[in-house]
Amino acid sequence: LDVTPLVRRDGPNDVLVRVDNTDDPELIPSHRSDFTIYGGLTRDVWLEVVPPVRVSRVDVRTPEVSRDRARATARVVLANPERLRGEYAVDAVLTGPDGRDVRARTRAVALTGDTVAEALLELPAVRAPRLWSPASPTLYRLTVALSRGREETYAWYQHVGFRWFEFRANGPFYLNGERLLLRGTHRHEEHAGYGAAVPNEIHRRDLEMIKAMGANFVRLAHYPQDPEVYRAADSLGLLLWDELPWDRGGLPSSAAWRENTRRLLREQIAQNARHPSIILWSLGNEVADLVEEPNSGRPDSLRAFLGELKAIARELDPSRPTAMRKFDAGADVVDVYSPSIWAGWYRGVYRGYEQAIAEAHAKFPRFFHMEYGADAHFGRHTETPISGEGLRIDAGFEEAVGKPVANIAREGDWSESYQTDLLDWHLSVSERQDWLTGNAQWVFKDFATPLRPENPIPYVNQKGLLTRDGTPKDAYYVFKSYWTASPKFAYIVSHTWTERAGPAGRPRSVRVYSNCATVELTANGASLGVRRRVRDDFPAQGLRWDVAFAQGPNALVARCTGDGERGVADSLAVRYTSQQAGRPQGVRLTSRPLPGGRLLVEATLVDAQGRPSLDASDRIYFDHSGGGRLLADMGTPTGSRAIEAANGRAAIELEPPRRGERAVIVARTQELNGARIIIDGR
């Protein structure tokens, strides 16, 4: 927006930015979407002082790239709101990663009084370019300067990456002429305490953690994200699926809706096409209102409109293919397609994954699997998770009995134990398929949704590898163990599973996720042997031990023993009991200080003898009166006023009351008498 006529040059100016989040049926995404659509300012807002003629946009393309030669073009758009006339020069300089200028080009532009002018600059070819890839995200710097006579009036900077890629029919994927298995996850743009107004440092931290677990691909779900996300992906070496926010809702008949959707796609491509990280323009997700539309040739059909969107994408950027997920009737319209396969969660069992992707591979010529995974409530573990055949094993103080689970998403335990098993199996399958383009786990971080009030944390999708505030679950380390070679690490499963129970003398399984070649586990100082990591040895790639815990405290230590790995270790203290606790009969409340000054108030479900009921998962409701403040609406394991217990416990953080005040915290369940704790300010 040009505010020049409104600015007072001889005094202060107040700039007010107003946004409106009123539900608008003419705009995507649909109100049926399973993620929160936030209001407020969710992007940076800048007031810039610029000259009368300036560079408003630079569209960079790399029409020719090989290992021997690369060429870039820059379409420079000039803004001239005051309709000035005269001769200007546009200079484009390409600077290499070593800081030296490698290529330059100058173009004269005559302003004739129009508000917009363009100049196309074709830079000379770069010999033996340094190619951009996840392993080596090399970026060149393009500087576009505008000058009149001897005076430079405006400069524009952006990065350029040289790479080429190919989604081959029936797979796999090639980058710069070499096969690359796409190892990915998905990201929603939000964070506890910020909603969608996420600071740049958190955007970048998310992508750094994705890169650190070994991923090379991210699907941006289900909308374009902050400019910092694309900048981070460019510099870190993460390939992106950039998605138009056509999510659910079908195809409204409104002409305004259709034009808005076309406009949004045009704007998205115009804004983001310069980023080497983007390899796919996704045209939508689950667009058929959860019902597959028949293969229709009607002009008002979903297929027809999808074809319109593809034509727009091809016109604006023919270098990138189009994609879509979960609209089988339009699979042949887009270039790359993903059906819905949720083996072991919404349908089937996770040991059916290999057959499921083989069938999809045969059906869809350019198959790229988006979305697999399972919900997990942080800190919830079980000695007997549901098996890969979909059997619930009730074992512990009783004998094992197999019981089939019809729908694991509804009837499962939502434990980290099951989530890690499912993801471990999916990775063991996908890593050995030589034809596979790749896949992407859903989702990197827990996120808020207007749906799912019945979840352990209400209104939070809990399929993340991290909690909503960025705390890793066990599953994060499963991916690190498969996808990273360095730095070396070992992680005993699990640092949130420090109290376990079972019959005396019955061994319990302990796993270690690690990228070391060999690992030794000791329990209470005694070695339980060295295990070699073998990729196809499920679970934990063979790094698992049966441990006969001693009654009371136990000390576990995992040490890497291979060449160059010694010194890498992890430790865990576990308290074990062979006493079988009864059903919960009450709630016990305690508090302890946290770093930074907050207090953690913890509710423990106990039986009639006061013993923790480690298997209890009752929903606990926290309430507060008096001084201080509960972190009650964060959607995190310690920031939710209503939350299911994880292994018999639930907690919430409290900003303590001031001196002379007191806080009263109450914890209740639907069935039990509540408990109260009083905290005095200091």
Catalytic residues: 286
Those residues with Cβ within 8 angstroms of residue 9's Cβ, 6 or more apart along the chain or in another chain: none
Nearest to 370 by CA among 360, 380, 379, 362: 360
Positive or negative, the Cα torsion across 211, 217, 220, 224?
positive
Give the bridge partners for 93, in sequence order. 104, 143
How many angstroms separate the CA atoms of 563 and 75, rounded?
53
Those residues with Cβ within 8 angstroms of residue 224's Cβ, 6 or more apart along the chain or in another chain: 242, 243, 244, 245, 268, 271, 272
Q: How many CB atoms lie within 10 A of CB 128?
A: 10
Angle (nearest 5°) at CA 135 between 172 and 336: 30
Positive or negative, the Cα torsion across 464, 470, 474, 478?
positive
Angle (nearest 5°) at CA 43 between 37 and 44: 165
Please, what's the b/e burial string for 502-511 (b: 16 or more CB within 10 A of its CB; e: otherwise)? Answer: beeeeebebb
For the chain, what is the radius of gyration of the CA atoms? 28
**Dihedral angle at the C-alpha atoms of 390, 396, 397, 399, nearest 10 degrees?**
40
How many angstroms separate the CA atoms of 597 and 582, rounded?
36
Give the bridge partners for 143, in sequence order. 93, 157
Those residues with Cβ within 8 angstroms of residue 525's Cβ, 6 or more apart along the chain or in another chain: 555
